[in-house]
Amino acid sequence: MAGAIRRLTVLHSDGRRRCAWCGTDPLYMAYHDQEWGVPVHNERKLFEMLCLEGAQAGLSWITVLRKRDGYRAAFANFDPKILASWSQQRLNALLQDPGIVRNRLKIAAVRTNARAYLDLRAAGSSLDELLWQHAPPQRRNRPRGPSAIPATTPASDALSKTLKAHGFKFVGSTICYALMQAVGIVDDHQLGCWRA
């Protein structure tokens, strides 16, 4: 069993075993250790992560993670009230910002999502409530490697459908599952990982 665990995780220079996906990049390791799989209920943080996971679509997470500070600067620290009022001209200017992924649809989705978020709040609900109501039952066993972690689940399918019904964009099931992992709705730390 110990040999199998060694193959499922990566031993790093600090003596800790981590999920195989996090590699050896210090930024990725810190994200793995301090954020990934940790339950989040802060509305602003949830909104930020929803937008960043949407920005990741078609890219690796490390690409967006390296640009996270650029995103925070470009998108008013993900303040939905500010973002919802932005003009098309303001969005177009962001296409010149090297600190973010310069994709017209992804940039526009941040404003759309800010408006959907504010509509959700005006209706008496919260993003926290909406996301966490889709939490699946906790796993009985830890994933035994990256291949045991799904890209989508029935819970992420349902979350995607709910978010789309509320007007959110870039919230397909794969993005939703990544979001669920990122904010601790699911905990996919692998068997043998020190965070498991």
Catalytic residue set:
31, 53, 61
Choose the CATH number for 2-182 among 3.90.1660.10, 3.40.50.10470, 1.10.340.30, 3.90.1330.10. 1.10.340.30
Which pLDDT value is given to residue 16?
93
Q: Is the per-residue pLDDT at 196 higher than 50?
A: yes
User: How do residues 117-170 score in pLDDT, each as one tens digit?
Assistant: 999 999 999 999 999 999 998 877 777 777 778 889 999 999 999 999 999 999
One-letter-per-residue 3-state SS of the chain: CHHHHHHHEEECCCCCEEEHHHCCCHHHHHHHHHCCCCCCCCHHHHHHHHHHHHHHCCCCHHHHHHCHHHHHHHCHHHCHHHHHCCCHHHHHHHHHCCCCCCCHHHHHHHHHHHHHHHHHHHCCCCHHHHHHCCCCCCCCCCCCCHHHCCCCCHHHHHHHHHHHHCCCCCCCHHHHHHHHHHCCCCCCCCCCCCCC
Q: Where are the domains of the chain?
A: 2-182
Report which of residues 133 and 22 the model is more confident about.
133
User: How do residues 75-101 score in pLDDT, each as one tens digit?
Assistant: 999 999 999 999 999 999 999 999 999
> What is the pLDDT confidence band of residue 6, given thresholds at 50, 70 and 90?
low
Output the pTM of the full model: 0.93
